[in-house]
Amino acid sequence: MEEEAQAKVDIWKYVFGYVDMAVVKCAIELGIADVLESHKTPMTLSELSSSTGCSLPALHRIMRFLVHRQIFKKQKSTNQASTCYVQTPLSRLLTKNGEQSMAAFVLLESSPVMLAPWHGLSARVLANGSSAFEAAHGEDVWSYAATSPAHSKRINDAMACDARVAVPAIIDGCPELFHGLESLVDVGGGDGTTLCMLVKACPWIRGINFDLPHVVSDNLDSVVGVEHVGGDMFDSIPKADAAFLMWVLHDWGDEECIHILRKCREAIPKDKGKVIIAEAVMEEEEGDKLEYVRLMLDMVMMAHTNKGKERTLKEWVNLLTEAGFTRYTVKRIKAVQSIIEAYP
């Protein structure tokens, strides 16, 4: 009976699962977390209403929901006369300019462009053909981004905010990863956030941020030691001691991945070169707290790409072998991604 009762509760969570994203998106757009962060001290509902320009009754209902979801917290004021709201570790990730903010990722995935394909997911599974994104918008996600500067910027902003979380985990988890490298090409590096962070942490490296011309054309500012180069990774990749790919290969099917990896192998020296892959490695067993995130990402790939997917270690090894790499290492870090080093 307890299982049946819990099932009746859980089904409502699935029915209204979109509400969490919608209200969190609303909170980001209203700047609630930013206001609390800049205020430095707990704020009453009236103060929040005044600072955000929101209707007090509507804001009360929004905050009630977000407090229940443990995104913000309530506490009594010093004199116990009123209730105040304060930040939590989770709400700090929703500030627009925080060091490890995920706000841009939320805004990308909750945008109408990215939500539309989910309505056609069942048709995509039955047809086993083009992606739900292509069915919804008439072209694949990359072609759409190439002709939509606003959506392209959303993608780059989202990847940049993920990089601000992942790169410190990579450096802390694999401190020796970039030792001995004089040059590094970030394949599909977007706006260059990842590479700029890596070069700042490893100033002996000369960095090449490589992406499609319309992506890198906006990257006029950079850090010392980083060059932005436009091109197509399916044609050729700039030469460097190592090629770095983060959240690139999961967008593509096996044949495309093998082709990209071969191009990476051609770009690095045979004697000391390597390819560094920062991607999810799906667990074959339960227990990893981040496995649910990886499973959700796999569904995102199904909805938004033609053949992309998250891969198991066995699937990664098959790709590396087919691409001509002779050995590899895999290391877990404190992030959704693992680090795969592949050697020619």
Within 8 A by CB and 6+ apart from 61, the residues are none
Q: Which is nearest to 274 in space by CA: 189, 178, 195?
A: 178
Q: Which of 151, 250, 259, 304 is catalytic?
A: 250
DSSP 46-108: HHHHHHHT--HHHHHHHHHHHHHTTSSEEEE-TTSSSEEEE--HHHHTTSSS-TT--HHHHHH
For 198, residues 6+ apart whose C-beta sits below 8 A from its C-beta are 167, 171, 178, 184, 186, 205, 207, 244
Q: Are 253 and 320 in contact (CB under 8 A)?
A: no
At residue 105's C-alpha, the angle toward residues 111 and 244, to 5°, is: 130
Q: Looking at the DSSP assignment, which residues form a beta bridge with residue 43?
A: 85
Question: Which residues touch 28 (CB under 8 Å, ≥6 apart)?
Answer: 94, 96, 103, 106, 107
**28 and 96 in contact (C-beta within 8 Å)?**
yes
Active-site residue flag, 250:
yes
What are the catalytic residues? 250
